[in-house]
Amino acid sequence: MATRSKAPAGSPGQGTDETRAALAAEVARLSYEEARDALVDVVRRLESGAETLEESLALWERGEALARRCEEWLAGAQARIDAATDGGT
């Protein structure tokens, strides 16, 4: 099993705890549609290849947070559907 090496603290592309917390708080406020649209924009920008390495890393981190938020919304929606249809059985 391969392990990914960690970049030293403060190296380019490694967000601080405060930065990650701010991103998480920002993303947590988004509706599903807002998170999905923002994720589509992140993917479009990454695929364009026009961003610097540092910008690309920041976009990747944002995209990961947005994808998690979308998954949270979808899991919640599935739970509501399951509860409404025979208790999920």
In angstroms, rounded to a whole number, what is the distance separating the alpha carbons of residues 14 and 18?
Answer: 12
Does any domain span residue 11?
no
pLDDT band, very low/low/confident/very high, at 86 (cuts 50, 70, 90): confident
Gap between the Cα atoms of 72 and 75, Å rounded = 5
Nearest-angstrom CA–CA distance, 64 and 56: 12
| pLDDT tens column, 14-49 | 568 888 899 999 999 999 999 999 999 999 999 999
53: containing domain:
19-88
Which DSSP state fits 51?
S
| Residue 51 resides in a domain | yes
Task: Look at residue 84 and tell me whether its pLDDT is greater than 90.
Answer: yes
- Reading the block at residue 10, the tokens are 């403060």
User: In the chain, pLDDT over 90 holds for what percent of residues?
Assistant: 73
Query: Phi/psi zone of residue 10: left (φ > 0), alpha (ψ -120 to 50 degrees), beta?
Result: left
Query: Looking at the 3D structure of the chain, how many domains does it have?
Result: 1
